[in-house]
Amino acid sequence: MVQFETEGFLTQLGYPTNEANQQKLQNIINNTQGFSQLEKHVIQLNDMLKGYNSYVTLSNSKDLLKIKKEPIQDNSKAEIDEIIEKWANKYKVNLMQTEQTNNYYITGRQL
């Protein structure tokens, strides 16, 4: 991904396009199998989750994208999980669920 594309991706996720964020995103790209086939779908998922106070973010602890779930209402949790599951199945995305926070990491695309 060239710098212009990384800046656009970061902007669409709501991040400033500074050097630190660009380097973090580059590490995520290098660590995520099939990232180039996923990037536009990640933005689509982020847009779908906004209405549920959830979003896709750069993980602070791993070189992966993280799906952060912060529903406003408790009954939204199942709906958010369904959106994420349908998205992952449709685009053949591997997810890893965190035990402590019930969020997800995007680990790559299934081959």
- The answer to which of 18-27, 52-61, 98-107 has the lowest mean pLDDT is 98-107
Average pLDDT over residues 3-16: 87
Extract the runs of DSSP E, i.e. beta strands, from the chain.
55-58, 65-68, 93-97, 104-109
More confident call, 10 vs 70: 10
Domains of the chain (ranges, CATH numbers): 3-109 (3.30.70)
More confident call, 20 vs 5: 20
Average pLDDT over residues 29-39: 94
Question: Looking at the predicted structure, is the pLDDT value of residue 75 above 80?
Answer: no
Residue 92 region, left (φ>0) first, then alpha (ψ -120 to 50), else beta? left
pLDDT of residue 45: 98
Contact criterion met (CB below 8 Å) for 72 and 39: no
Question: Looking at the predicted structure, is the pLDDT value of residue 84 above 90?
Answer: yes
Contact criterion met (CB below 8 Å) for 59 and 21: no
Average pLDDT over residues 83-105: 93
Question: Looking at the predicted structure, is the pLDDT value of residue 111 above 90?
Answer: no
Crossing angle between the packed helical segments 76-90 and 35-49, to the nearest 10 degrees = 160
